[in-house]
């Protein structure tokens, strides 16, 4: 593949144009399976961030003043451009090391985000308030926040960008997007290409690829009114500190250590299938992967056998060149972390039932039992295809173990008696919970987010986006003369 084939090769996207960064910085984009450099992106400088922010301030005023129908039409055209885009599946596969199904999912989910955001643009917003002042009208209206900095991770670069960009734009904001350095294409520049093709007004979306330096500059930039961050809890904490000291609005979508509870009446075959998908899907590299399987003793033996068989049957390899279930771990640092978590747990007494090995970044799906609940494998987010399983006696123990975490993203409860399973689900401390389905779930209309170490500040999806991307403004209009004492 010619690495200069993309219109965005070596570029940033500022003021509606692909252009080289002002200091000429660039970075390679590697195929995660082969390490081949298959494309290049610009590496934004501080001067690019400043230029993008200046252009976005003007563009945002004009964009917010346009009719909602016009904003919706732009988003629908971007959705159409996305549906007809060529080469995007391959770009996502190579940048993220995923199978075709995951890349196709990202595209269809991003289309959903755009479609729902287009509908959001015309939603009635605001309230007519009662007032004790005769002759006054009093309303609460929703106004755009202004410039939203959107900082995204590498795992689902297209959809995690679009689920923020689309509603933020629909509601009259402008966006400065910084994708992960692992995925500057599908997480940023390819999105800019869609907006350019759809004839979106210049400046409403600016894309600034780069690393921490660009991220920090965005968070600190005086023109940025809001920071929307999706990524690790560690970086989220730093952003919260900086944005807090600057009194900036923040929304943080962070990591998870999600529990899958298998109750004593669960259908073991179904449960193991759901468990395997929850832990191994996209190499376990999602914030909503199951990092803890909590299984009732009555079904534990059968569950472990079934889950182990399923894990052992999954193929691992380069998804672009062979039919495979799983691709590689994203990079060597993440691989080393996964190895350390597993090796330390094994040194502490854990037993690997299947997997536990890796060929370079290709990591075998792993089932592990007897994990010390104080070990990092049990308490931390894993981000690799590893399923630690704990055996408990009864629902009380299951709930207590599931809630014993600082994270609070998602849980699943599996059981044949649906009402009992739903009652168990009610007792779990997390922002999202699913009965009889896998932990990885996301829909454009559902409020996605986390509590505790998993998130702060808001939810993405459906009506939650109105709160997320608008400020409430109280407006009164008085038509009769008023009198004050002096
Ligand atoms: P990361 O926190 O390392 O990086 C995320 C983004 O922040 C990247 O664009 C990175 O360049 C940028 N960044 C890094 N340091 C920064 C700083 N000091 N200031 C500003 N920006 C900075 O995360 P990652 O490794 O790219 O992604 C994996 C993490 O994302 C996992 O922890 C996962 O759980 C989380 N995640 C959360 C959700 C959610 O919706 N809750 C979704 C997907 C991923």
**Claim to verify: residue 268 and residue 188 sit in the same structural domain:** no
Q: Does 446 reside within a domain?
A: no
> What is the per-residue pLDDT for 215?
98
Place of tokens 């009380």: 396
**Are the C-beta atoms of 102 and 131 separated by less than 8 Å?**
no
Q: Are residues 241 and 267 in the same domain?
A: no
Ligand 1 centre to CA of 351 (Å) is: 31
Q: Token pair for residue 396?
A: 């009380």
Same domain, 368 and 333: yes
Taking the centre of ligand 1 as the mean of its atom positions, its distance from the CA of residue 123, in whole angstroms, is 31
Q: Which of 275, 35, 246, 253 is nearest to 161 (CA)?
A: 253
Selection from 221, 207, 47 nearest residue 146 by Cα: 221
Cβ neighbours of residue 61 closer than 8 Å, sequence gap 6 or more: none
- Report the number of distinct structural domains present in the chain: 2
Q: Which of 359, 382, 312, 341 is nearest to 33 (CA)?
A: 359
Query: Ligand 1 within 6 A of 453 CB?
Result: no
Q: How far is the CA of 232 from the centre of ligand 1 (A)?
A: 4
Residue nearest to atom 35 of ligand 1 (CA): 231
In this predicted model, what pLDDT tens digit does every residue of 381-432 receive, in sequence order? 999 999 999 999 999 999 999 999 999 999 999 999 999 999 999 999 999 9
30 assigned to some structural domain: yes
How many residues does this entry show for the chain? 486
**Given 113, 193, 253, 468, which residue is catalytic?**
253
User: Looking at ligand 1, which residue's alpha carbon is closest to its atom 21?
Assistant: 215
Domain shared by 408 and 422, yes or no: yes
Nearest CA to ligand 1 atom 9: 180
253 is catalytic: yes
Answer yes or no: is 224 within a domain.
yes
Model pLDDT, residue 123: 85
273 and 409 share one domain: yes
| Distances in whole angstroms, Cα of residue 198 to Cα of each of 119, 131, 158, 163, 456 | 18, 45, 17, 18, 33
Joined tokens for residue 296: 């009732």
**CA atoms 168, 173, 178, 183: torsion sign:** positive
Q: Which of 149, 188, 235 to mutate to test the pocket of ligand 1 (most atoms within 8 A of CB)?
A: 235
**Is any ligand 1 atom within 6 A of the Cβ of residue 20?**
no
Phi, psi of 17 (to 5 degrees): -130, 140
Please report, for the domain that includes residue 116, its CATH number: 3.40.605.10
Q: Find out whether the beta carbon of 157 lies less than 6 Å from any atom of ligand 1.
A: no
Q: Is there a domain that residue 483 lies in?
A: no
If you measure from the C-alpha of residue 173 to the centroid of ligand 1, how many angstroms do you get, rounded to a whole number?
22
What's residue 136's pLDDT?
95
At residue 66 the predicted structure's pLDDT band, cuts being 50, 70 and 90, is very high
Residues 149 and 244 in one domain: yes
Q: Which CATH number characterizes residue 403's domain?
A: 3.40.309.10
350 lies in the same domain as 206: no
* Mean pLDDT, all residues of the chain: 97
Q: Which of 11, 113, 193, 287 is catalytic?
A: 287
**Do 241 and 295 have their domain in common?**
no
Do 203 and 16 meet the contact criterion of CB atoms below 8 Å apart?
yes
CA 362 – CA 364 distance, rounded (Å): 7
On whether residue 26 sits in a domain, the answer given is yes
1 pLDDT band, cuts 50/70/90, is: low
Q: Is residue 103 over pLDDT 90?
A: yes
Residues 288, 236, single domain; the answer is no
Is residue 443 in a domain?
no
Which 8-state DSSP code applies to residue 270?
Answer: H
CA 370 / ligand 1 centre spacing (Å): 31
Work out the percent of the chain whose per-residue pLDDT is above 90.
Answer: 96
Query: Does the CB atom of residue 331 touch ligand 1 within 6 A?
Result: no
Q: What is the residue range of 21's domain?
A: 3-254+454-474
Q: Answer whether 231 contacts ligand 1 (Cβ < 6 A).
A: yes
> Using one digit for the tens of pLDDT, what is the confidence trace for 169-204?
999 999 999 999 999 999 999 999 999 999 999 999
Q: How far is CA 435 from CA 262, 357, 407, in A?
A: 10, 32, 19
* Ligand 1 center–CA 152 separation, angstroms: 6
Q: Which two tokens stand for residue 254?
A: 């962070």
> Averaged over 469-486, what is the pLDDT?
95
pLDDT value of residue 426: 98
- Residue 194 and residue 69 in one domain: yes
219 and 275 co-located in one domain? no
288 in contact with ligand 1, CB cutoff 6 A:
no
Q: What tens digit of pLDDT does each residue of 276-331 get?
A: 999 999 999 999 999 999 999 999 999 999 999 999 999 999 999 999 999 999 99
Q: Is the CB of 10 under 6 A from ligand 1?
A: no
Distance CA 448, CA 442 (A): 7
178 lines ligand 1 (CB under 6 A): yes
- Where residue 125 falls among pLDDT bands split at 50, 70, 90? confident
Q: Are residues 238 and 292 in the same domain?
A: no
CA dihedral 385, 274, 299, 427 (to 10 degrees): 100
- Nearest ligand 1 atom to alpha carbon 334: 25
Q: Does 237 sit in the ligand 1 pocket, CB within 6 Å?
A: no
482 in a domain, yes or no?
A: no
Can you give the pLDDT at residue 3? 65
Regarding the beta carbon of 136 and ligand 1, being less than 6 Å apart is answered no
The yes-or-no answer on residue 140 being catalytic is no
The answer as to whether 85 is a domain residue is yes
Question: Ligand 1: which residue has its CA nearest to atom 43?
Answer: 287
* Cα 168 to Cα 325: distance, rounded to the nearest angstrom: 35
Residues 200 and 186: their CA atoms lie apart, in Å, by 18
């Amino acid at each position: 593949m010619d690495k200069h084939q993309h219109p965005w090769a070596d570029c940033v996207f500022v003021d509606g144009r692909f252009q080289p960064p002002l200091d000429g910085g660039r970075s390679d984009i590697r195929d995660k399976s082969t390490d081949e450099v298959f494309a290049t992106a610009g590496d934004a400088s501080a001067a690019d961030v400043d230029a993008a922010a200046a252009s976005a301030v003007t563009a945002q005023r004009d964009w917010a003043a346009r009719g909602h129908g016009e904003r919706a039409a732009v988003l629908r055209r971007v959705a159409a451009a996305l549906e007809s885009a060529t080469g995007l599946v391959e770009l996502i596969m190579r940048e993220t090391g995923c199978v075709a199904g995951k890349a196709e999912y990202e595209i269809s989910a991003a289309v959903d985000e755009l479609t729902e955001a287009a509908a959001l643009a015309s939603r009635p917003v605001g309230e007519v308030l009662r007032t004790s002042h005769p002759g006054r009208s009093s309303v609460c209206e929703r106004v755009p926040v202004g410039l939203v900095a959107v900082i995204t991770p590498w795992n689902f670069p297209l959809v995690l960008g679009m689920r923020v960009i689309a509603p933020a734009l629909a509601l009259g904001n402008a966006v400065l997007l910084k994708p992960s350095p692992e995925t500057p294409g599908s997480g940023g520049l390819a999105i800019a290409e869609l907006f350019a093709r759809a004839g979106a007004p210049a400046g409403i979306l600016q894309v600034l690829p780069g690393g921490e330096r660009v991220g920090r500059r965005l968070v600190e930039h005086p023109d940025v009114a809001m920071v929307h961050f999706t990524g690790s809890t560690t970086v989220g904490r730093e952003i919260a500190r900086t944005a807090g000291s600057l009194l900036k609005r923040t929304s943080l979508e962070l990591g998870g250590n999600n529990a899958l509870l298998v109750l004593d009446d669960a259908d073991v075959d179904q449960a193991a299938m759901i468990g395997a998908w929850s832990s191994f899907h996209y190499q376990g590299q999602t914030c909503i992967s199951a990092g803890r399987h909590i299984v009732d003793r009555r079904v534990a033996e059968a569950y472990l056998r079934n889950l182990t068989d399923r894990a052992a049957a999954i193929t691992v390899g380069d998804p672009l060149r062979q039919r495979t279930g799983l691709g590689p771990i994203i990079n060597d640092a993440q691989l080393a972390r996964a190895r350390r978590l597993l090796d330390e747990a094994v040194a502490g007494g854990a037993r690997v039932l299947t997997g536990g090995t890796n060929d370079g970044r290709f990591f075998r799906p792993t089932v592990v039992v007897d994990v010390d609940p104080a070990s990092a494998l049990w308490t931390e987010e894993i981000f690799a295809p590893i399923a630690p399983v704990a055996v408990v006696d009864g629902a009380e123990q299951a709930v207590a173990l599931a809630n014993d975490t600082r994270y609070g993203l998602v849980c699943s409860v599996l059981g044949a008696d649906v009402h009992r399973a739903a009652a168990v689900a009610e007792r779990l401390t997390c922002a999202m919970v699913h009965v009889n389905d896998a932990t990885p779930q996301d829909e454009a209309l559902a409020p996605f987010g986390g509590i505790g170490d998993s998130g702060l500040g808001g939810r993405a999806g459906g009506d939650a986006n109105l709160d997320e991307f608008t400020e409430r403004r109280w407006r009164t209009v008085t038509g009769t003369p008023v009198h004050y004492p002096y």
